[in-house]
Amino acid sequence: MKKTQKKIFGFFGLGVVVAMTSVALTLPNPGVSAVSSVTDTVIVVVRSDTPDVNIDGIDPGEVITDPSKSFEVDYSNVETIKVVLRYTNKGGYTQDFVLADGPVSGMPNPLPLNIDFSNPDYGYGDYVLTVTGEGSDGIKDIDIKEFSYEAFAARLKEDEEKGKTYVDLDYKPDDGTEAGEGNVARIELNVYDPDGNLVTELSPITVLAPQDSVEIPFDKYDLKPGMYTIKIVAYDRDGEPLFNRELSKKIEEDMPVPDTNAPDTGGLFKNIGVSQSDFLITGLIMFFVAGITGAFIIGKKNKNRR
């Protein structure tokens, strides 16, 4: 009887599962039907005639020191080109100069731009060079380069292997033949600690034209951690200051102080100092002497026994 009941319950359960499965298969899937009912058509148009202009010969943010600077404008698929140079002087006054504007027919490609920044219209300051190229259907492409023209450029260079700090200099040196505006004959560098005090042992470090790099010997002095300022002033041949600039150097930890009174311990008992090499040499000598003495004593004992 119990077996018969189990069979009945088993067939009943199987029937329920089959029925639920059938119902589930017949029900619509709203998610699938929603996706399948929507058909999107994406059209990708690849244009081969899109205008393209590029300024070559200058990097964004570059500082140039040579007043004669040449640029190039590469272009393609454009009918007209407009080149504008915006100059902002040290006083904040801004002026635009149109260097080219018109159809490219008859223009060379690349288009050369030779600018003389010693021209009275220009001067030291910030510049923005903008090139706009327009195609036949009115589509435009623009390239912009921002840079500065200065009498002097400087940057810190760290030699991590040697633990040295250098200042690399870029300027127009006075070669002694012709004095010109901005020609540098001498550069002086002064170092100030985080409190604004002059680090007198380092001041001034003098650079004579055409030297273009100088070491700042931070590792030779007792300097506390903090931000140090390197103030740089350039002079012409008459000793008149031309311009100045500042760089910052952060020292993370105390710099070691060289002890000039410490004995030189590089050799055997030199200046009565003891070094690792002294210990090694002394140990080898003592081992050699002890070995010979031991051999002599053993030989003498063997002789007495005979």
Higher pLDDT, residue 79 or 177: 79
Residue 217 has pLDDT above 90, yes or no: no
pLDDT of residue 49: 80
Strand ranges for 77-185 from DSSP E: 80-89, 94-103, 111-116, 125-134, 140-149, 152-159, 164-171
pLDDT of residue 199: 86
Q: Does domain 152-251 have CATH number 3.40.309.10?
A: no
Distance separating alpha carbons of residues 257 and 300, to the nearest angstrom: 57
Which is it for strands 68-76 and 111-116: parallel, antiparallel or unpaired? antiparallel
Distance separating alpha carbons of residues 115 and 128, to the nearest angstrom: 13
**Of the listed ranges 11-25, 123-137, 179-193, 222-236, the one predicted with least confidence:** 11-25
pLDDT of residue 161: 81
Distance separating alpha carbons of residues 191 and 205, to the nearest angstrom: 9
Average pLDDT over residues 3-26: 51
Query: What percentage of the chain has pLDDT greater than the value 70?
Result: 65
Domain boundaries, the chain: 52-149, 152-251
Distance separating alpha carbons of residues 144 and 293, to the nearest angstrom: 87
**Of the listed ranges 67-76, 126-135, 223-232, 276-285, the one predicted with least confidence:** 276-285
Tell me which amino acid residue 110 is.
P
CATH of range 52-149; options 1.10.260.40, 2.60.40.10, 1.10.730.10, 3.30.465.10: 2.60.40.10
- Residues 221-270 have pLDDT tens digits of 778 889 999 999 999 888 988 888 888 888 876 544 444 454 555 544 44
CA distances from 209 to 57, 65, 183 (A): 26, 15, 9
Count other Cβ atoms within 10 Å, centred on residue 223.
21
Tell me which amino acid residue 299 is.
G
Residue 13 has pLDDT above 70, yes or no: no
- Residues 121-164 have pLDDT tens digits of 998 899 999 999 999 889 999 999 999 998 788 889 988 888 88
pLDDT of residue 300: 60
Mean pLDDT, the chain, integer: 77
Distance separating alpha carbons of residues 212 and 166, to the nearest angstrom: 10
Classify residue 55 by its DSSP letter. Answer: E
At residue 271 the predicted structure's pLDDT band, cuts being 50, 70 and 90, is very low
Q: Which residues pair with 76 in a beta bridge?
A: 52
**Of the listed ranges 7-11, 40-44, 202-206, the one predicted with least confidence:** 7-11
pLDDT of residue 221: 74
**Of the listed ranges 7-16, 73-82, 153-162, 234-243, the one predicted with least confidence:** 7-16
Residue 78 has pLDDT above 90, yes or no: yes
Distance separating alpha carbons of residues 133 and 144, to the nearest angstrom: 12
Average pLDDT over residues 184-196: 91
Count other Cβ atoms within 10 Å, centred on residue 73.
25
Handedness of CA 271, 275, 277, 283 (dihedral sign): positive
